[in-house]
Chain A
Amino acid sequence: MDFTVFAQQIANGLVNGMAYVLIATGLTLVFGVLRIVNFAHGEFYMLGAYLTYFAGTLLGLDYITAAVLGAVVVAALGVVANKLIFWPLRRDHEFTILLSSLGLALLIANSGELLFGADPKYVESPFADEILDIGTVTLTQQRVLVFAAAVAVLVAVYLFIRYSRFGKMMRATAQNPDGAALTGINIGLVHSYTFALACGLAALSGALVGPTVMIFPTIGNWAVLKGFIVVIMGGLGSVTGALFAGLLLGVIESLGGGYISLGFMEAIGYAMIIAVLLWRPNGLFSTARGLR
């Protein structure tokens, strides 16, 4: 086995995995805090990538500003989606919430196709064509940026949840919404902020990954599937689980694609989670109710 190739595969896998983690963190937060399985999560990823693209081409903004703007706008859209659909349905059966989020996903994806056109687009980034050598491993600067930005954002999210007043409110709501409400926590506000955070994270990952691949209106599908696999493998509601599972999925896909078959790469990743779930049906880091 050639070590250089192996190291390169691992590095690629870690970068992909970090993007998965970024997608999955939002999903797992929304589930952990609000008990909502949001099928439309991937669509916010798609919107993040497209808004970055349009902010760059139509408004002429530079890539970083466009990405941040995209994330902020999508976070606001997440709050709107919450107000219109998820907040009114919060007392309903999980079935209803799951199906209406599926409806929302179809709605956004197909409206996207209508508005943006079905042809693939490229998000311009000054880092996309620059190469960075780390030892024997070669990565584009954009991919390094994906990893670095994701790490920075995840650390910030962790500190926010752990130490800020608002993070404590989120964790209290995750443990017991009624109890949290009794102590004077504004649950409606927690809902809104959690959605803003989750959708912002999804949009940011779309903006970061956008320049490394082509974007088209159905990528949300792909994103939500990856996010779900990571979340299910890590344990629904577990942020730590999402981190490990995301990196693991990225590396295994990369190795499977490199050494077994590129075409079956995705199937290998899914097969892996099924193996994991046969052993631990509720995921690697399954928790009792609450946010870890």
Chain B
Amino acid sequence: MNAKHISLAGGVLLLGILPFLAGNAYLEHLLVLWMLYALLALSLNIIIGYLGELSFGHAAFVGVGAYTSAILSTQLGLPPLIGLPLAGLVAALFGLVIGYAALRVVGPQFAILTLGFGSILYTVTNHWVDVTRGPMGISNIPPLSLGPVTFTDARETYYLVLGLVLVVAFLCHALVNSRTGRAFIAVRENAPLAASLGVNVFHTKLLGFVVATAIAGVGGAIYAHYIKVITPDIMGVHNVAALIIVVVVGGRGTIVGPILGALVYIGLLESLRVAGPLRMVVFAALLTGTVVFLPGGLVSLWQRWRGNHKAENNATATTAPTTLPNAEGGAK
């Protein structure tokens, strides 16, 4: 047990008792949204943070999962808790096909291609009225349940999603320290070099992409059963931008980053509700500001502070830099 383990245990414990501290249904609802966005952001972080590719189509997979589970439960009467893994599976299948086509290119081309694929899925969802009810959306989606096990209210859903977030976070942690995870990082840092060392770059990327889309699908399905109404807007550009903002502002390539980013996003989204369209302007400024001045995201603030703190202690407070991070700080 060192300080890191203790703070980790403390953090998990705090997350565990948060609904009891919240006190009212509205705050509990926000907690659920926070955890849902954290889950989705963690999945997108596998692509952005570990594979080093920018996906502009991630919201589409969230939508695929949401629609799969919603259609299975409303039209086929399948218990929603069984629909959950199926939603992940279908989203993963979409991820496999789309990833297979899109991962042949890298960098800007990949970003644009995923944007195109996302738009196809959005357009089809919006117009295939027979199945998806088009812009009207699907309403009256039953809550998550299987026999006696139900996740109807905010608190129960919170614990379900929190559990998933912790599992995914642990898997990400295990992944980074595994052979596959090191292959991911190697591919991100230098694909030709990784290939020369025997890493199958395409398969490695495809694996990461499919896992990320599967998690996004499950997250989307939980969202659908929790909110009970879904429309094609879940796949829209707004949601794409939101997920990217969460990951980048929080700190890509870290585990705490996306969770923190989701907290900031949901918090600002609610506190700026009165501001109307100005809200997105704030988010846009936040994104651009983070990218330019704080490329490591919010978590890097903590690392910098600790770095400065240590330097201060070591240098016995002589000329240690104690100023706030400047613009040049660690631009990649």
Contacts and interface: CB of A to CB of B under 8 A. Distances in A.
A113 B279 CA distance: 11
B185 interface: no
A31 B127 CA distance: 33
A274 interface: yes
B123 A266 contact: yes
Chain A interface extent, by class: 35 or more
B120 interface: yes
B116 A106 contact: no
B146 to A, nearest CB: 35
Contact of A94 (B107, B115, B280, B281): B107
B171 interface: no
B104 to A, nearest CB: 4
Contacts of B285: 103, 107
Contacts, number: 125
A277 B244 contact: no
Interface in A200-245: 221, 225, 228-229, 231-232, 236
Given A229-B116, A281-B104, A113 B277 contact: yes
B105 interface: yes
Interface stretch (A11-19, A85-93, A158-166): A85-93
A106 B54 contact: no
B199 interface: no
A105 B54 CA distance: 16
Contact of A110 (B101, B127, B284): B284
A96 B295 contact: yes
B123 A100 contact: no
A270 B120 contact: yes
B244 A99 contact: yes
Interface string B258-302: 000000000000000000111111011101110110010000000
Contacts of B52: 95
Contacts of A228: 112, 115-116
Given A85-B288, A96-B291, A221-B237, A274 B101 contact: yes
B278 A281 contact: no
A263 B119 CA distance: 13
Interface of A: 31, 37, 85, 88-89, 92-96, 98-100, 102-107, 109-111, 113-114, 118, 221, 225, 228-229, 231-232, 236, 261, 263-264, 266-267, 270-271, 273-274, 277-278, 281-282
Interface of B: 52, 54, 101, 104-105, 107-109, 111-113, 115-117, 119-120, 123-124, 126-127, 237, 241, 244, 248, 276-281, 283-285, 287-289, 291-292, 295, 331-332
Q: State the 4 A-B residue pairs at the shortest beta-carbon distance, nearest first.
A: A103-B288, A106-B284, A263-B127, A37-B108
